[in-house]
């Protein structure tokens, strides 16, 4: 009785009226989330008939191209049109210079060619960094335990041009070397690839949440960590500096990675720069949800939807996520 009396006296506004049924809730939703916002990261392996589940990332696989093509087709039918493909390279092909990344018989480049030939409407994003091809497992060139910056740039440029020649629509420098966006933009333009976009990993943090991805590609650093090039999780203003540089160097889109622990950074970059902002919902973030759902501790669909929505609400225009296919299937059903 006390509560009723109190409500009438205090206030006639009842926010619950705008939540009273699902049609009204949908009509008034401030944030939209659909398959068109998602980019699906996929692991590719050389060979035939391969579909190996990644142990630390259930529900995600290393695919050989023959099985990946029909998988891409089924994603397209669900409205997923953008894919970020990562190569799982045989240890024997890795070297200090990551030279396999531009080798003419590289299976990853061949796969991009075939995917684009078969599905011209798909958007293919590629990763630019040395780690999947490097015998050191670092994103840049290693010498005496140091990750060299300027010496790495020409290597990244060779990799970029090879990917552009194969048909990549968007290249994604994930290496965090200083000056690489401008360097790669110039390399692309000089070779006539003015239409190839750059989605820069602008604010990429030295994170514990990349573990399952490194398992998938067997690409963890052989020594040391990535803290001299990836950002310190303690820092937010530094993301503005990285963004300023990428903006001036000609990035088309700017990414924040990981997403979930860095929603404040997504919001900051969205307010501060007139470029599309993307979020990478990384492997470890998805693995937590898979693990909890497998134990019956969380509802998979609800938890995944709430996470993705939080990234869009923070300001992400597009999201790279291992949930892409499941989410698209979920909203269809």
**Residue ranges in contact with ligand PBG by CB under 6 A:** 127, 129, 131, 139, 174, 210, 213-214, 226, 282-283
Set 204, 226, 270, 325: catalytic member: 204
Angle, helices 300-314/263-272, rounded to nearest 10 degrees: 30
* Min separation Cβ 12 and ligand PBG, Å: 49
70 or 179: CB nearest ligand PBG: 179
The 3-class SS string of the chain reads CHHHHHHHHHCCCCHHHHHCCHHHHHHCCCCCCCHHHEEEEEEEECCCCCEEEECCEEEEEEECHHHHHHHHHHHHHCCCCEEEEEEECCHHHCECCCHHHHCCCCHHHHHHHHHHHHCCCCEEEEEECCHHHECCCCCCEEECCEEECCCCHHHHHHHHHHHHHHCCCEEEECCCCCCHHHHHHHHHHHCCCCCCEEEEEEEEECCHHHHHHHHHHCCCCCCCCCCCCCECCCCCHHHHHHHHHHHHHCCCEEEEECCHHHHHHHHHHHHHCCCCEEEEECHHHHHHHHHHHHCCCCCHHHHHHHHHHHHHHHCCCEEEECCHHHHHHHHHC
Q: Is residue 276 within 8 Å of 318, Cβ to Cβ?
A: yes
Q: Is residue 186 within 8 Å of 175, Cβ to Cβ?
A: no
40 or 107: CB nearest ligand PBG: 40
* Min separation Cβ 229 and ligand PBG, Å: 9
Does the annotation count 236 as an active-site position? no
226 or 270: CB nearest ligand PBG: 226
113 or 214: CB nearest ligand PBG: 214
Set 45, 94, 226, 257: catalytic member: 257
* Min separation Cβ 278 and ligand PBG, Å: 13
* Min separation Cβ 210 and ligand PBG, Å: 4
CA distance 166 to 275: 26
239 or 282: CB nearest ligand PBG: 282
127 or 246: CB nearest ligand PBG: 127
CA-nearest of 117, 58, 64, 74 to 290 is 58
* Min separation Cβ 208 and ligand PBG, Å: 10
CA-nearest of 330, 328, 274 to 301 is 330
107 or 210: CB nearest ligand PBG: 210
* Min separation Cβ 266 and ligand PBG, Å: 16
Does the annotation count 9 as an active-site position? no
* Min separation Cβ 155 and ligand PBG, Å: 13
Output the furthest CA–CA distance in the chain (Å, rounded). Answer: 79
| Catalytic residue list | 204, 257
């Amino acid at each position: 009785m006390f509560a009723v009396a109190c409500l009438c006296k205090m206030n006639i506004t009842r926010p619950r009226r705008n939540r009273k049924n699902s049609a009204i809730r949908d009509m008034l939703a401030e944030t939209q989330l659909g398959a068109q916002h998602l980019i699906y990261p996929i692991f590719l392996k050389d060979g035939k008939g391969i579909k190996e589940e990644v142990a630390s990332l259930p529900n995600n696989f290393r695919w050989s191209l023959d099985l990946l093509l029909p998988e891409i087709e089924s994603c397209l039918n669900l409205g997923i049109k953008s894919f970020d493909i990562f190569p799982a390279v045989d240890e024997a092909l890795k070297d200090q210079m990551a030279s396999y990344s531009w080798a003419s018989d590289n299976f990853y480049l061949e796969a991009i060619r075939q995917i684009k030939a078969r599905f011209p409407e798909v958007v293919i994003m590629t990763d630019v960094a040395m780690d999947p091809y490097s015998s050191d497992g670092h994103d840049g060139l290693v010498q005496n335990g140091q990750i060299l910056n300027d010496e790495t740039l020409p290597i990244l440029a060779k990799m970029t041009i090879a990917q552009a020649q194969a048909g990549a629509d968007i290249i994604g420098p994930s290496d965090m070397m200083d000056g690489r966006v401008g360097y790669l933009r110039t390399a692309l333009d000089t070779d006539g690839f003015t239409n190839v976009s750059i989605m820069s990993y602008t604010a990429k943090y030295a994170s514990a949440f990349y573990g399952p991805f490194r398992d998938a590609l067997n690409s963890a650093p052989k020594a040391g960590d990535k803290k001299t090039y990836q950002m310190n999780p303690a820092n937010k203003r530094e993301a503005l500096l990285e963004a300023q540089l990428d903006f001036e160097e000609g990035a088309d889109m700017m990414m924040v990675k990981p997403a979930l622990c860095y929603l404040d950074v997504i919001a900051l970059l969205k307010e501060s720069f007139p470029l599309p902002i993307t979020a990478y919902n990384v492997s470890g973030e998805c693995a937590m949800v898979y693990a909890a759902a497998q134990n019956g501790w969380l509802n998979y669909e609800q938890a995944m939807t709430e996470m993705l929505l939080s990234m869009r609400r923070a300001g992400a225009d597009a999201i790279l996520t291992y949930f892409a296919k499941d989410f698209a299937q979920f909203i269809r059903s």
